[in-house]
Copies of this chain bind each other. A is one copy, B any other.
């Protein structure tokens, strides 16, 4: 069997990255002195008006992706609403910000009340738990743009951070340690590859039969394992925001550990991750096995069990780890030139992924 890859499922990450780099140069023409950081971090950072530079607003826009197609096949959408809010809050958190408000965008060829109400219930629950107000949204019926019987859900979250507590990785120095916090599943990334591997093609009866399978290593059906809502790290890390020893944070989304950590590593530093320091959760092994996917491709596409990363002084990281009672020291920062991130996932010399 030829190994599955993300590009073969119709999602070409490398090409997407080169296009994004080119359009970034165009977009930066709109930057004023109120834009406090360049593009590429987990949120856009903007001087909060009327605060004389004391506060910054952080904003992120994102969508849930093809996890929605699994939710369609299983007929359960509340978790998708939670996914979107938690994903957004994690992006803000990675910049040191806490959420103020959220707006959602729902679009489909045709409005399905039940689906929309489940999504809204999920978003409402997640927002309320985080103290984030859902202040607006748009519901669009766009026949001809969307495939039948599905939808897309995107959202924009705006948060706030004292300007001096903005976390952008610039304070990362050699000697810092990397704490990896456990994910609770795929979160919201890699579903096009996961679906291809599990042979979820969109044919309702066949998809449902596959999703009902209970893997030998679990007591839950595949559907539930795939649809666990994206974990939110804000409750865990809220108190740590503003700590002097906290130098950088990364939300592990599309692009995996390597590409997401690379977004915040300053010149002269390299983050070395050793993937043998934690156990890869079974769901990833199941997806890899069924699709005969290369391990390097797995680490490029999925979070592989680490949903959020905190980088900081050794003492701070040790203290944080003991206070949280979870997470693993998965790597360290060394003085080196490019690549900014090196991930070793096996004993052999070739078992290395770089940014």
Chain A contact residues, CB within 8 Å of chain B:
9-12, 15-16, 19-20, 22-23, 26-27, 29-32, 34-35, 39, 43-46, 48-51, 54-55, 57, 59-63, 65-66, 68-69, 100-101, 103-105, 107, 109-111, 113, 116-117, 120-121, 123-124, 127-128, 131-147, 150-152, 154-156, 158, 160, 192, 195, 202
Contacts and interface: CB of A to CB of B under 8 A. Distances in A.
B31 A61 contact: no
A134 to B, nearest CB: 4
Contacts of A146: 145-147, 152
Contacts of A35: 101, 133, 135
Given A29-B128, A103-B156, A156-B103, A55 B49 contact: yes
Nearest to A9: B143
A124 B63 contact: no
A289 to B, nearest CB: 23
B65 A144 contact: no
Nearest to A119: B23
Contacts of A63: 105, 107, 138, 140, 142
Contacts of A32: 131, 133
Contact of A124 (B27, B135, B142, B144): B27
4 smallest CB-CB distances across A and B, nearest first, come from A44-B135, A156-B156, A44-B136, A10-B143
A195 B145 CA distance: 13
Given A29-B124, A107-B154, A101 B147 contact: no
B145 A66 contact: yes
Contacts of A44: 101, 103, 133, 135-136
A9 to B, nearest CB: 7
Count copies of this chain in the complex: 2
Contacts of A57: 57, 100-101, 158
Given A61-B103, A63-B140, A26 B111 contact: no
A19 B139 contact: yes
23 contacts: A10-B110, A11-B143, A16-B141, A23-B120, A26-B124, A27-B124, A29-B128, A34-B133, A35-B135, A43-B136, A46-B135, A49-B100, A50-B51, A59-B101, A61-B136, A66-B142, A69-B145, A107-B152, A142-B192, A144-B150, A144-B192, A144-B195, A146-B146
Nearest to A162: B50
A138 to B, nearest CB: 5
